[in-house]
């Protein structure tokens, strides 16, 4: 079991490295105004900018700032991750959901989501992995369950496929729930 967890963590580190290497180039430079605007807060933690916003933690709660240092989404969440395809994953209590760039709750915090095992925590190709009852599946941007939670592990979609793991076997699933292997057929 420990080997599987280590493998998942290694796989996710590689995923994050790939994201960083493929990120959109920016010529953003820290200006005096930007630095001064951030001094009004004592950040407990900060995340990475994506889609113009970065998660920040103040007083134990997370929100988002823009590149001017202005707080766009108040620090109301127990945890917040980066934006992808216009939505960011947030946690309230022990449940996860998604907000838009105005802070509007688009998908309610209903998911168990053990994101530490799956750092693929945002939307890719219109779908996001969610964790419910010990299994992974996928939802769309309205929260509709597109692929049932059948998998022990599910990675992000890329080029129309997501890698999935169940019963000691790896395979792929497409955006319609069709598997390249029959391991998910009961």
Q: Which H, E and C letters describe 58-104, residue by residue?
A: ECCEEEEEECCCCEEEEEEECEEEEEECCEEEEEECCEEEEECCCCC
Predicted pLDDT at 181:
66
> For the whole model, what pTM was predicted?
0.76
Predicted pLDDT at 17:
37
Predicted pLDDT at 124:
86
pLDDT, one tens digit for every residue, the chain (186 residues): 434 333 333 334 333 334 444 444 556 676 767 666 666 667 899 999 999 999 999 999 999 999 988 999 999 999 999 999 999 999 999 999 999 999 999 999 999 974 544 555 578 899 999 999 999 999 999 999 999 999 999 888 989 999 999 889 999 999 999 987 665 454
How far apart, in whole angstroms, are the C-alpha atoms of residue 90 and residue 97? 6
Biggest distance spanned by C-alpha atoms of the chain: 61
Predicted pLDDT at 80:
94
Predicted pLDDT at 97:
94
Predicted pLDDT at 179:
84
């Amino acid at each position: 079991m420990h080997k599987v967890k280590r493998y998942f963590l290694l796989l996710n580190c590689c995923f994050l490295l790939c994201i960083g290497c493929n990120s959109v180039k920016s010529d953003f430079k820290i200006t005096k105004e930007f630095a001064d605007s951030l001094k009004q807060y004592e950040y407990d933690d900060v995340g990475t900018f994506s889609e113009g916003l970065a998660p920040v933690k103040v007083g134990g709660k997370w929100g988002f700032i823009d590149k001017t240092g202005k707080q766009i989404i108040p620090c109301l969440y127990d945890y917040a991750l980066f934006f992808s395809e216009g939505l960011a994953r947030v946690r309230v209590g022990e449940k996860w959901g998604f907000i838009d760039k105005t802070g509007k709750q688009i998908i309610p915090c209903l998911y168990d989501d053990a994101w530490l095992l799956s750092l693929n925590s945002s939307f890719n190709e219109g779908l996001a992995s969610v964790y419910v009852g010990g299994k992974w599946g996928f939802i769309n941007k309205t929260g509709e369950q597109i692929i049932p939670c059948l998998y022990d592990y599910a990675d992000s979609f890329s080029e129309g496929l997501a890698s999935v793991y169940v019963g000691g076997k790896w395979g792929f699933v497409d955006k319609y729930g069709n598997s390249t292997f029959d391991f998910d057929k009961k």
